[in-house]
Structure 1
Amino acid sequence: MKWPKRIIKAMSAVVMLYLVAALLGSIFPANQFWKSPDDGIELFIETNGLHTGIIMPMHSDAHDWSELIRPQHLDDPTEYGSHILVGWGHEGVYRNAEHWQDLRVKDAASAVFGSSDVLLHVYHLNYPQVYPHYRRSFKVTESEYRLIVEAIKQRFVLDEAGRSIPSPGYGKDDLFYKSRGHYNAFYTCNSWTSDVLRQAGIRTGIWTPFQGGVMRWFLESGPEN
């Protein structure tokens, strides 16, 4: 009877260490002295309570996403948006768990221990506005935005003709795209969001496996000063 108890205690300790590390990682900043420019490209960070993503304009002077994300990918091209919300994550979790209550044990276990079955998730939006509880805005320079774009583009798997590979999403205004990368408990969908921002020099937590660790850096009134 001692070994089961020891195993349970060890597992509990590992979980506690993980949660403490996640809290500390979300509190301590990377790119601590970054400031959002007054005049720049407006982006948004959004969460659905499980996943976070970055909202970007479909077209801008800095980049045009229509080469990879095309109207004809959608069943109804009229849903093609002025902006896109892009996230990255574990295929099983993404396809089967739009919200926390939908998460299956099988998918959760695969996500924790690691899988290369990953997807980019793209929502089409029209002229998004701030919603304090789940969508917050910030601005970046053109050079910062190009770094964000490049980090995301590198995740797309392309076919022999250089085209992205879409598949159906949750509804008529979103799609999944075949992606590259490796998902695990230490590199989650929310870690990816922060990683993209961090590579562009934007302030965020040094390790943010949960959505709250990402969102805390973008307060309701704008980026934390």
Structure 2
Amino acid sequence: MKWLSRIIASLLAVIALYLVAALLGSIIPANQFWKSTDSGIELFIETNDLHTGIIMPVYSDVHDWRTLVRPEHVDSPMGYSSHILVGWGHEGVYRNTENWQDLRFSDATSAIFGSDDVLLHVYHLNYPQAYPHYRRRITVSEAEYRLIVKAIKERFVLDEAGQAIPSPGYGKHDLFYKAYGHYNAFYTCNNWTSDVLRQAGIRTGIWTPFQGGVMRWVPEGETDNQ
């Protein structure tokens, strides 16, 4: 019983340290003095309280996603829309955990200890609007957007013809794509979102394993009060 108590106490201490580090990482900013521009490329950062992702226009003067995220990948033309929401994460968690209550122990264990089985999740949206809790708007410069595009494109696994490799998603408006990367407790789907933003020079937390650490850094005044 003494050894069991020590093991439990050690596990609780590790969890507590992890949570404290996550809190500190989420409130310490990278790119502290960045500001959303008055004109440029309008993006959104979205959360479902588990995963976060970046919403981008399918086509802009800076980049055309149709060459990689192709219209023929979706079952119906109605499923292909004006914008895409892109996130990266653990394959088992992504495929099986659309919401927190769906999380399976085996997927959670694999995600915590690490796996190379990762996916990009691409969801098609038609002219999205900002909402205070789960979808917030930022406007980035063309140079910043090019860096965001570059970071995301580098995650796509391509076939011999140079095409992305899709597989079915949750419904007719989303798909999963085979991706590069290593997922673990220290580099989660939310760390990835912040990492993409940070590489583009956009303000975010220095370490954000949870969605709240990502969403707190969306600039004030960038939401529609709907």
TM-score, L = length of structure 2: 0.97
1:106-185 equivalences under 5 Å are 106-185=106-185
Q: d(CA) in 1 for partners of 2:59 and 2:32? A: 29
Show structure 1 runs of 4+ deviating over 3 A. Answer: none
Q: d(CA) in 2 for partners of 1:20 and 1:222? A: 28
- Percent of aligned positions that are identical: 78
Match of 2:62 in 1: 62
Q: State whether residues 36 and 219 of structure 2, in contact with CA within 8 Å, keep that contact through their aligned partners in structure 1.
A: no
Residue 5 in structure 1 maps to residue 17 in structure 2:
no
SS of the residue corresponding to residue 212 of structure 1 reads helix
Q: State whether residues 46 and 53 of structure 1, in contact with CA within 8 Å, keep that contact through their aligned partners in structure 2.
A: yes
Amino acid of the structure 1 residue aligned with 2:52: T
Q: Provide the aligned C-alpha RMSD in A.
A: 0.9
* Residue 136 of structure 1: how far off its partner (Å): 0.2
Match of 1:194 in 2: 194
Q: State whether residues 138 and 219 of structure 2, in contact with CA within 8 Å, keep that contact through their aligned partners in structure 1.
A: no
Q: d(CA) in 1 for partners of 2:121 and 2:67? A: 16
Match of 1:74 in 2: 74
Residue 206 in structure 1 maps to residue 206 in structure 2:
yes
Q: State whether residues 133 and 220 of structure 1, in contact with CA within 8 Å, keep that contact through their aligned partners in structure 2.
A: no
* Residue 189 of structure 1: how far off its partner (Å): 0.1
Q: d(CA) in 2 for partners of 1:132 and 1:68? A: 31
Q: d(CA) in 2 for partners of 1:222 and 1:78? A: 29
SS of the residue corresponding to residue 16 of structure 1 reads helix
Q: Could you give the per-residue CA deviations for residues 136-181 of structure 1, whole angstroms, max 9, x where no partner exists?
A: 0000000000000000000000000000000000000000000000
Q: d(CA) in 1 for partners of 2:70 and 2:98? A: 23
* Residue 220 of structure 1: how far off its partner (Å): 5.9
Q: d(CA) in 2 for partners of 1:159 and 1:128? A: 31
Q: d(CA) in 2 for partners of 1:171 and 1:128? A: 18
Q: d(CA) in 2 for partners of 1:176 and 1:15? A: 31
Q: Quick check: 71-80 or 48-57, which moved more? A: 71-80
SS of the residue corresponding to residue 218 of structure 1 reads coil
Match of 1:216 in 2: 216
SS of the residue corresponding to residue 124 of structure 2 reads strand
SS of the residue corresponding to residue 221 of structure 1 reads coil
SS of the residue corresponding to residue 35 of structure 2 reads coil
* Residue 219 of structure 1: how far off its partner (Å): 5.0
Q: d(CA) in 1 for partners of 2:168 and 2:36? A: 35
Unaligned stretches of 5+ residues in structure 1: none
Q: d(CA) in 2 for partners of 1:77 and 1:120? A: 21
Provide the aligned length of Structure 1 versus Structure 2.
223
* Residue 78 of structure 1: how far off its partner (Å): 2.1
Q: d(CA) in 1 for partners of 2:219 and 2:128? A: 17
TM-score, L = length of structure 1: 0.98
Q: d(CA) in 2 for partners of 1:81 and 1:53? A: 17
Q: d(CA) in 1 for partners of 2:88 and 2:164? A: 15
Q: State whether residues 157 and 164 of structure 1, in contact with CA within 8 Å, keep that contact through their aligned partners in structure 2.
A: yes
Q: State whether residues 132 and 220 of structure 1, in contact with CA within 8 Å, keep that contact through their aligned partners in structure 2.
A: no
